């Protein structure tokens, strides 16, 4: 069975929870979910998109059988409310940020209304979702420069088995939601420089180089990722005496040469 469920990202940090554990123990409610069911998760306002595909790995779990995810709850009152009833375990299969899954596009392709409670997907809507579950339609948010070894995964459909959080369009989208699209080095707003084609266009820089991030490192999109313009991004990766510049060092260079 294939389902569509809604999630409030302003109440719970799904991005970090999935990244750190690869699964979420979700309130099951009265719905008849079964192990093996596929569940697509629609994030409510302000995102209004499907962002995750999961598979049900366990059902009818009680509070003693689930992990404590208090750190991911924004609203601790809601966290306390969540500790009752039965739970199901959702393993993350894939994650995406694609305008094809905006509420408007979903409504135009078989969805009747913004999802409130879990609903079973019709064949037409399921076909639309499965056809478009890829990263081809990223919203002008570009990843950090990567090696040829990793480049094969860029722009392709990604699964959790090969998709590190720092390569994820979700991570980049969360960084933009948090920081905006103005370069954190030179303060340029590309939409003011280029007009309409520059709206929303920005690169994302990793403050800790990907080559130094171990498999167990837990990325924090608030602390580890930063929006920069393409020029500043290139300069941040240009080595001086074998060392890449920090954000502050590049700012100092800009300030020095602007004053000359």
| The predicted structure's pLDDT at residue 216 | 56
| The predicted structure's pLDDT at residue 223 | 85
Tokens 């995964």 — which residue?
153
Close Cβ partners of 74 (under 8 Å, ≥ 6 residues apart): 10, 11, 12, 13
| The predicted structure's pLDDT at residue 213 | 60
Give the predicted TM-score (pTM) of the model. 0.66
Structure confidence by residue, pLDDT tens digits, 129-143: 999 886 554 444 444
Structure confidence by residue, pLDDT tens digits, 150-194: 333 333 333 333 334 444 567 777 888 889 999 999 999 999 989
In the predicted structure, residue 125 carries a pLDDT above the cut 90: yes
Instruction: Identify whether the C-beta of residue 66 lies closer than 8 Å to the C-beta of residue 25.
Output: yes
| The predicted structure's pLDDT at residue 210 | 60
Domain with CATH 3.10.590.10 in the chain: 2-132
Mean of the pLDDT values across residues 97-101? Answer: 87
Instruction: Identify whether the C-beta of residue 164 lies closer than 8 Å to the C-beta of residue 146.
Output: no
The alpha-helical segments, DSSP class H, found in the chain are: 14-21, 76-82, 103-107, 123-132, 148-151, 169-179, 190-194, 230-236, 247-258
d(CA 82, CA 70): 10
Torsions phi, psi for 232 (to 5 deg): -65, -35
Close Cβ partners of 80 (under 8 Å, ≥ 6 residues apart): none
| The predicted structure's pLDDT at residue 151 | 34
- Using pLDDT thresholds of 50, 70 and 90, give the confidence band for residue 96: confident
| The predicted structure's pLDDT at residue 161 | 32
Report the chain's C-alpha Rg in angstroms.
20
d(CA 19, CA 171): 10
Structure confidence by residue, pLDDT tens digits, 31-50: 889 999 999 999 998 889 99
| The predicted structure's pLDDT at residue 149 | 35
| The predicted structure's pLDDT at residue 173 | 79
Mean pLDDT is lowest, of 2-11, 135-144, 189-198, for 135-144
* Mean per-residue pLDDT over the chain, rounded: 82
| The predicted structure's pLDDT at residue 143 | 45
- Using pLDDT thresholds of 50, 70 and 90, give the confidence band for residue 147: very low
Instruction: Identify whether the C-beta of residue 24 lies closer than 8 Å to the C-beta of residue 90.
Output: yes
Percent of the residues in the chain that have a pLDDT greater than 90, as a whole number: 48
- CATH number for the region 2-132 comes to 3.10.590.10
| The predicted structure's pLDDT at residue 163 | 37
d(CA 31, CA 178): 34
């Amino acid at each position: 069975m294939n389902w569509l469920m809604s999630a409030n990202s302003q109440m719970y940090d799904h991005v970090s929870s999935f990244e750190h554990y690869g699964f979420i123990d979700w309130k099951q409610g009265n719905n008849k979910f079964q192990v093996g069911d596929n569940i697509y998760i629609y994030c409510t306002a302000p995102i209004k998109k499907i962002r995750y595909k999961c598979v049900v790995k366990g059902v009818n779990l009680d509070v003693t059988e689930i992990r404590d995810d208090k750190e991911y709850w924004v609203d601790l009152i809601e966290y306390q409310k969540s500790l009752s009833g039965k739970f199901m375990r959702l393993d993350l299969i894939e994650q995406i940020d694609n305008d094809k899954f905006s509420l408007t596009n979903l409504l135009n392709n078989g969805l009747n209304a913004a999802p409130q409670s879990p609903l079973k997907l019709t064949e037409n809507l399921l076909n639309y979702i499965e056809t478009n579950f890829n990263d081809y339609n990223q919203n002008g948010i570009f990843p950090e420069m990567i090696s040829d070894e990793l480049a094969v995964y860029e722009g392709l459909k990604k699964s959790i088995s090969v998709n590190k959080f720092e390569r994820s369009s979700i991570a980049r989208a969360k960084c933009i939601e948090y920081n905006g699209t103005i370069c954190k080095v030179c303060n340029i707003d590309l939409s003011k420089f280029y007009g309409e084609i520059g709206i929303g266009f920005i690169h994302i820089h990793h403050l800790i180089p990907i080559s130094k991030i171990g498999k167990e490192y837990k990325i924090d999109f608030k602390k580890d990722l930063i929006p920069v313009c393409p020029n500043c991004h290139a300069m941040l990766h240009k080595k001086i005496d074998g060392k890449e510049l920090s954000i502050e060092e590049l700012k100092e260079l800009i300030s020095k040469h602007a004053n000359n």
